[in-house]
């Protein structure tokens, strides 16, 4: 008897909690700086001024870094509130901010040290002669490398895992930089209250990270699912179903995605996100995987029974966010999975219109299933196939074209899933057609 999985929990977090938490954290950081005369020092001698700037930028870099690390823990409460996509976008923004603050911190530190000596001597002091500064130098180097490799242009040039393993160096970076903040940092070395607060925050975060982030990985490996069905569909496309007793531990819904880690010798160290292409149930989790790169290929090439560690499901674009209005669903590429699974969970009153964009006929998958599901709820499927240059219309998601295919567009809620370019094009056209931003549901591109 097929039963849907338990629905994801509702987050206890409220908007106001997040605002309050951010405000308190900012006030504490600024408070530490103000408490130790940060403003007065700005108006003081050159040494005081640079020292004050260095302290503030150092505090700010630490603060943004700590929040960035906290987001990467993927806390369930936070994830359910914002979605992993938003969290990782903030992680990126905070990381970039931290890198800039760190550069300011290093620069102002060197300036303050060189007020009374040569710049060269200041640099030598700050890279090893002062206590714990050699460690801090290495830590800053790690963090700047991590920030650099996370620039889109750089990141694209390396495989996900290469980037990820380098990204792990940021933990070492934080740990190495910690001592100098306690020993040299004017904000912590002479103020026991601030120092203990700082130590407690770091230890607390470290414990949370180990239990929350790495504990989750360990649990997923200890209680894996296994491949219960493998089906080839279309060109280079495989449908993988994962099942097993561990399913009982999962909560999930249509429209979500999971991190999958096949527990085989060649890929136990690779964990990649895949969208579910069917509403998760006691029958298992179904993923439709196109051969895009190495990881997808590996997963499709596995044999029945292979154990797969599953983290998730994640994602907030579930049937819960739909208000029950009529629906327009726009899908492209990998986006067909969430759209297909959501379609299983909507009612006949939604009369869904599915616009399915693909570069060529062979890229279309699940068209028959989609059509069946759509007809069941009074909907229809429309495919838009061909390279953009060959299409009859210049922009398939311009307001005029959208209105032609979906005359009652303005009455509908919209779900968009697919690659970045499709999301942006569709969002632009929909907004131009007067659809409220709150009525357009999508996961932000971050992968």
**What residue ranges bind another protein (CB under 8 A)?**
113, 116-118, 120-122, 124-125, 127-129, 131, 134-135, 137-138, 141-142, 145, 156-159, 161-162, 165-166, 168-169, 172, 176, 266, 269, 292-294
Q: Which is nearer to another protein, 86 or 127 (CB)?
A: 127
Nearer to another protein, 134 or 221 (CB): 134
Q: Closest Cα partner for 312 from 92, 78, 74, 69?
A: 74
CB closer to another protein out of 115 and 377: 115
100 vs 135 by CB, closer to another protein: 135
Q: Closest separation between CB of residue 199 and another protein, Å?
A: 21
The b/e string for 61-79 (b: 16+ C-beta within 10 A; e otherwise) is bbbbbbbbbbbbbbbeebb
Smallest distance from the beta carbon of 111 to another protein, in angstroms?
A: 12
Quick one: how far is CA 400 from the chain centroid? Answer: 33
Query: Rounded to the nearest whole angstrom, what is the least distance from the CB of residue 116 to another protein in the complex?
Result: 5
Based on CB atoms, which residue is closest to another protein, 135 or 403?
135
Nearer to another protein, 126 or 423 (CB): 126
* Alpha-carbon distances, residue 83 vs 16, 71, 254, 326, 446 (angstroms): 17, 11, 14, 24, 11
- Least separation in angstroms between residue 151's CB and another protein is 15
Nearer to another protein, 90 or 164 (CB): 164
Least separation in angstroms between residue 63's CB and another protein is 24
Alpha-carbon distance values, 446 to 85, 131, 145, 200, 235 (Å): 6, 40, 20, 32, 26
Smallest separation, CB 192 to another protein (Å): 16
CB of 302 to another protein, least distance (A): 16
Length of the chain: 447
Residue closer to another protein by CB (options 18, 119) is 119
Token digits of residue 326:
């009529």
State in Å, rounded, how far the first CA of the chain is from the last one: 36
Backbone angles phi, psi at 190, to 5 degrees: -120, 0
Distance CA 207, CA 220 (A): 19
Cβ at position 152, least distance to another protein in Å: 12
Q: What is the CA radius of gyration of the chain?
A: 26
Nearest approach in angstroms of CB 124 to another protein is 8
- CB of residue 186 to another protein, shortest distance in Å: 15
For residue 55, the minimal CB distance to another protein (Å) is: 17
Pick 289 or 440: Cβ nearer another protein: 289
Beta carbons within 8 Å of 417's beta carbon, 6+ residues apart: 275, 317, 329, 330, 331, 332, 334, 335, 336, 337, 338, 339, 442, 443
Closer of 78 and 169 to another protein (Cβ): 169
Distance CA 265, CA 64 (A): 37
Instruction: Look at the block and give the residue holding tokens 């006949």.
Output: 348
Q: Which is nearer to another protein, 131 or 348 (CB)?
A: 131
């Amino acid at each position: 008897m097929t039963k849907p999985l338990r629905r994801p929990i509702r987050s206890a977090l409220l908007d106001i909690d997040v605002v309050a938490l951010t405000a308190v954290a900012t006030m504490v950081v600024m408070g530490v700086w103000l408490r130790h005369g940060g403003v007065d020092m700005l108006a003081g001698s050159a040494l005081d001024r640079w020292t004050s700037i260095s302290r503030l930028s150092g505090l700010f870099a630490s603060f943004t870094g700590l929040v960035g690390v906290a987001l990467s823990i993927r806390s369930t409460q936070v994830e359910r509130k914002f979605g992993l996509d938003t969290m990782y976008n903030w992680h990126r923004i905070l990381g970039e901010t931290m890198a800039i603050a760190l550069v300011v911190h290093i620069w102002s530190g060197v300036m303050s040290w060189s007020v009374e000596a040569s710049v060269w001597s200041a640099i030598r002091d700050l890279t090893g002669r002062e206590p714990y500064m050699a460690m801090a130098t290495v830590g800053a180097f790690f963090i700047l490398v991590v920030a650099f490799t996370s620039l889109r242009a750089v990141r694209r040039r390396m495989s996900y895992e290469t980037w990820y393993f380098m990204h792990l160096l940021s933990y070492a970076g934080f740990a190495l930089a910690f001592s100098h903040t306690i020993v040299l940092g004017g904000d912590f070395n002479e103020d026991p209250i601030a120092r203990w607060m700082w130590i407690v925050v770091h230890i607390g975060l470290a414990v949370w990270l180990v239990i929350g982030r790495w504990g989750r990985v360990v649990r997923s490996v200890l209680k894996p699912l296994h491949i219960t069905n493998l089906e080839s569909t279309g060109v280079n496309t495989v449908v993988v179903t994962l099942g097993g007793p561990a399913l009982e531990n999962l909560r999930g819904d249509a429209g979500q995605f999971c991190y999958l880690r096949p527990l085989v010798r060649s890929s136990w160290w690779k964990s990649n996100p895949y969208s579910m292409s069917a509403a998760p149930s006691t029958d298992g989790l179904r993923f439709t995987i196109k051969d895009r790169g190495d990881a997808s290929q590996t997963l499709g090439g596995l044999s029945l029974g292979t154990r797969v560690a599953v983290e998730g499901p994640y994602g907030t674009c579930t049937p819960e966010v739909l208000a029950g209005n009529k629906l327009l669903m726009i899908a492209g590429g990998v986006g067909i999975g969430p759209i297909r699974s959501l379609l299983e969970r909507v009612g006949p009153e939604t009369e869904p219109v599915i616009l399915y964009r693909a570069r060529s006929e062979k890229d279309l998958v699940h068209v028959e299933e989609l059509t069946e599901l759509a007809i069941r709820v009074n909907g229809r499927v429309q495919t838009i196939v061909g390279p953009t240059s060959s299409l009859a219309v210049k922009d398939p998601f311009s307001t005029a074209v959208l209105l032609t295919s979906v005359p009652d567009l303005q009455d509908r809620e919209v779900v968009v899933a697919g690659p970045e370019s499709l999301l942006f094009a569709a969002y632009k056209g929909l907004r131009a057609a007067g659809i409220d931003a709150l009525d357009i549901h999508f996961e932000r591109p971050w992968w």
